[in-house]
A = this chain, B = another copy of it.
């Protein structure tokens, strides 16, 4: 079962992060960082580790990059959940960081988790300096004001826009907001091995979009308890989503087509990429 595969990698990543944050100062900001690094599907970390396996890298090496992307993801969730952003009180079935502590601690814990992501990617154990610095640079380009932060800014602008976004605009927004880091994750293993990342890049571009369409479908018809967060927020806010534009059936069909594209992009890897194919199918079948 694919969820078991995901859980095995998630356990490796969790152990690494737990060890990383042990023996730190006894301060709320450190406790909040640990808290925000618990749970989640670890899809991004899995993509790193599986892409790395495909290129012959050991899990002890790739887990460092997997932990880095999960730290980056955790930072983005803490800041997205802030009252001035999406104002969410529930995440992964638990109170969000600013609810459990306070806003100042949430801002600082997010800030420090972003820093931690870059620190981890600088570690010697990840391999030759050229490859580490390439990975650092591509993570920065994916996360910054040309990638994830720009997508987040477009998302906030959309909330107060007079005219709902078009399909092209939502696609562009999501390519930044969730797509850029998913693509980085899938390509990281190839970069670490000094191999061509373009097939994994095509896989990840289709996968990232399918992931977001599935998120929009979950927001409409998912079970809030399983999802671990509040749902139907977009519909209540009157925001355009893939579902509001394509309809529920149209969105499902689009997501299925994207999963087929993602699988097709892996053809050159043969059977070795079966778990990445399973991941693509899982992304649109998940309930959380």
Binding site for B on A (CB under 8 A): 24-25, 27-30, 33, 75, 79, 82, 84-85, 102-105, 107-108, 110-112, 114-116, 118-119, 121-123, 128-130, 132-134, 136-137, 139-141, 143-146, 149-150, 152-154, 156-157
Docked complex Cα distance between A29 and B123 (Å): 31
**Which 7 residue pairs are nearest across A and B when measured between Cβ atoms?**
A122-B137, A119-B140, A84-B103, A115-B144, A112-B145, A129-B129, A29-B153
Given contacts A119-B137, A122-B140, 9 further A-B contacts (CB under 8 A): A33-B145, A82-B104, A84-B107, A107-B107, A108-B149, A115-B140, A118-B118, A119-B144, A129-B130
Q: Which residue from B25, B75, B118 sits with its C-beta under 8 Å from A140?
A: B118
Q: Known contacts A24-B146, A150-B29, A153-B29; is A115 also within 8 Å of B112 by CB?
A: no
What is the oligomeric copy number?
Answer: 2
Q: How far is the CB of A207 from chain B (nearest CB, A)?
A: 23
10 A-B pairs with CB atoms under 8 Å apart are: A27-B157, A28-B153, A79-B107, A79-B111, A82-B104, A107-B107, A108-B153, A111-B111, A133-B136, A136-B136
Q: Is the CB of B144 within 8 A of A133?
A: no
Q: Is the CB of A85 within 8 A of B104?
A: yes
Q: Which B residues are CB-close (under 8 A) to A123?
A: 137
Main secondary structure on chain A at its contact with chain B?
A: helix
Docked complex Cα distance between A79 and B105 (Å): 11
Q: Is the CB of A150 within 8 A of B27?
A: yes
Q: Is the CB of A157 within 8 A of B28?
A: yes
Q: Which B residues are CB-close (under 8 A) to A85?
A: 104, 107
Docked complex Cα distance between A137 and B111 (Å): 16
Q: How far is the CB of A77 from chain B (nearest CB, A)?
A: 12
Q: Is the CB of B112 within 8 A of A149?
A: yes
Q: How far is the CB of A176 from chain B (nearest CB, A)?
A: 10
Q: Which B residues are CB-close (under 8 A) to A144?
A: 112, 115-116, 119
Q: Which B residues are CB-close (under 8 A) to A143?
A: 115
Q: Which B residues are CB-close (under 8 A) to A139?
A: 118
Q: Known contacts A137-B119, A150-B27; is A156 also within 8 Å of B104 by CB?
A: yes
